[in-house]
Structure 1
Amino acid sequence: MKSIRSFVKALNTNYYSDFIVDPYSDLTDFSEQILLVRYKNADYYEKSLEAIHLIQREILLNVQSLYQKALTDLYIRLANKTGENFTSLLALNIQALKVTMDMLKNDFYIDDSKSRYYSTIVDTDYIGKGESRKIDIDNYPIDGHFIKIIKKWVVEEQELKEEMDEYESFYHIGYHTKRFKVLSYLPYALWHISLKFIEDLKHAKSIILEENEANPSGGKLKWSGKKTHIGFIIGTLAAEGYIDPPKLKNEDVNYTAFSKLIKQVFDVEVGYDTLRKYLNPDDEKFQENKATFEKENFHLPHKKMVS
């Protein structure tokens, strides 16, 4: 399910790094309406909202392409029923996407420190934090002329300071609102894409469950013997020429692939590694079973002997 992993990875990516550049980078385009921000204790230029919107479109086009590939792979695997515990894999992917959705939901709120998009406009840090200039009236003439000017200046500075304390940035509230909408748009869109894919996974899971209910064995032959017996018996059939098992390039039997084929045909609770050992005549597990069966006079002639 490589395509599904690639799709989920794209959903989990922190794309805010695509929207900012190092202040000393040659990629900085000063012709844009760039914004100096502090992100993770470092200063960056945030690209213009128009540039960010274009980048977001490219990201979503890529995510949509990965979504289609993941969906195609999902239903191909469902049709072929390849792989063990497919239902469990679906359930794990659903849980992983739920975690992703929680993270993306935090990203909606870019002014919250829990968001991976959280940054502060640098001018915010300096407003209202400067010390007022100290005035020593005794240093000025006492004719009252300068005192009136100074008092007026003190009042104006205090009013300006109070105004700066009230507002968080020199950027008007409309800009902050637009910036919030633009930056939160991508995680919001990815959240909905994640939700849609969860529904696709649940649909695939329901198809499997319906088939299992209609045919409890899942179309497989039920193995009634011991789980160790199936490897020895089918391994013996292959060794005596009755079954043509999958081969490696050097023509040796591929016991891993052989065990997977058996699991597709038989309903038996045995792991691949265990089954592989009992299939291989050179393995001591196969020999242990062989001794047990021969003790009960079990004998399977080579196919050429009975042809």
Structure 2
Amino acid sequence: MGERALIRCINGWLGTASPPPPAGMGDDCAVLPQPHGSPLLTVDPVVYGRHFDDSLPPEQTGAKLLKRNLSDIAAMGGRPVSAVVSLILSPNVSLNWLERFFNGLKVCALTYKTQIVGGDISATDGRSFSATLTLYGEAERPVVRHGAAPGDHVAVTGSLGGSLLGKHAAFVPRLNEGLWLAARPEVKAMMDLTDGLAKDLTAMLHPDICARLDISSVPIDAAAHARSEQDGLSALEHACCDGEDYELLTILDGQTDLAPLMEAWKKDFELSLSLIGRVAEADSIDDAGHMIDDATDKPLFPNGGYQHLSGQ
């Protein structure tokens, strides 16, 4: 149908989720408002065969594209503002599928008060589809992932594992929870769980420290137990290594009394916040930068989690 006609369709499909120019589509760049606090910028794609397949409805695929980025903003304690979307389309992508994809993106954008302000379209050969969304947000107090020190507590929202059974697309970005945690002085560091606890927690540790976990406190999702019954791997391994949980992993100051924080959390959220371990000085080179089972002193899944570019 041609690029210009497709852009007109996209603009119509997005409706009020896309503002008029110069704040939205129609110029070389979108003109964004001045940020309140620190500006945030993140980018994530959905790629056919990697992040979704034919079993996922296009509406959920479009929503997942935005929600993956919203989860990054949540992990910084921020609010979303505006996004641009880049499409790479092969000839087999139908107009009906694309309309449904953008409808899912629109509903998600309106739900989370995010404006789709522009993007780009490119063609490719074969049978493929990818969409990349760049999301702009803002935070009064951005919370970075580094800052853990010996004695600090490790906490996680929700439950973990088994994301392939549906959560990878049906998750809720923890924006309200991220804002709440960012406002608490006890919170020293935070990130979202996308590649699995085994990989993401170690990304928060500098080389001289480790995380000693009480594995009985790790919140294991029912889907992780279901996956365990399917493939024989332990439910704990699925909870630590599956990835795409999109929960918040946070480091809490070990020098403070956490009782007020935990009590306030329970009043404001039905979602669980679980204390799963402590940060400690590494006893050996083998322990440094790893998760350790506090009961056995053995590293937990040292090569676990989703490893990008390796196919694992």
Greater RCO, CA 8 A, separation 6+: 2
TM-score, normalised with respect to structure 2: 0.22
TM-score, normalised with respect to structure 1: 0.22
More helix by share: 1
Instruction: Give the structure with higher Rg (CA).
Output: 1
